[in-house]
Structure 1
């Protein structure tokens, strides 16, 4: 029996590593992670078929540029990946980062049944508020103010 040669092993390694690489666009923030980031997080569930999601995206985009004390992440409800996700983000006009994997299990909250759903995450990484329906910049600012006031 012939043993594999070095070029064959190198080729297999390149193929394996290529499959592990990130997509070649930077609209994603990974597959979840540490939600305790020292600032308030807004996690917004959206889908292309959701009219109210389309309605609130401009407000989320505006809020993301207006405030540096928060970070906004989107979660595609349909679990799109790769170029399908990139195309949906472009179609929706989303300018904030996205999380590739639904964070609801990691955050110990149920997966939303209504879209859009927006989660407010405290700097300690705990879900502070769950908002349903389209949110405006004013509504989100008020919800953040209320949530901050309730924090110890």
Structure 2
């Protein structure tokens, strides 16, 4: 009986661990972005590049959205389209004035986000990790906020 109980508790522990999400890698400052800091929240995932003019004009709007969404179950995160990492990522994010988290590792596989040829592109992912919308082109804080509110109402 003792051997069987150990086997069952080992299986249960394994299943519980498998349910825990992996971290998201590091941000533009080299700090780990924990799964607990993003999972279970609505995510606004914006892909940008420093050579993209609409991306540059959109950043202050996304900063405003990020600051206005703090503590409300919504997080804004950025992803550099060109795959910049480490100091290059930090420098590009700083030059554009990005004040929200920028992920060094692309979260597209995690959420099954489709590839995009156009920039900027912003994906809205719900609190269960399902992509709910894809917004192509320059966005405003109020526009994304309105879309988030509509999607959250649909889910009720």
Tell me, yes or no, whether TM beats 0.5.
Answer: yes
The change in CA–CA distance for 1:72 and 1:36 in structure 2 (over 3 A counts) is closer
Do residues 126 (structure 1) and 135 (structure 2) align?
no
Please, which of 38, 44, 47 is the counterpart of residue 45 of structure 1? Answer: 47
- Superposition TM-score, scaled by structure 1 size: 0.76
Deviates more, 1:80-89 or 1:98-107: 98-107
SS at 1:128 equivalent: strand
Segments of structure 2 that go 5 or more residues without pairing to the other structure are 1-24
Q: CA deviation at 1:38?
A: 2.1
TM-score, normalization: structure 2? 0.74
Q: When you count helix as a share of all residues, which structure comes out higher?
A: 2
Question: For structure 1, which runs of at least 5 residues remain unmatched after alignment?
Answer: 1-21
Tell me the number of residue pairs that the alignment of Structure 1 and Structure 2 aligns.
130
- Greater gyration radius: 1
SS of alignment partner, residue 125 of structure 1: coil
Report deviation, 1:35: 9.2
Match of residue 19 from structure 1 = none
Q: Which residue of 2 aligns with 1:63?
A: 65
- Kindly state the Cα deviation for residue 105 of structure 1 after the two structures are TM-superposed: 1.8
Q: CA RMSD in A?
A: 2.5
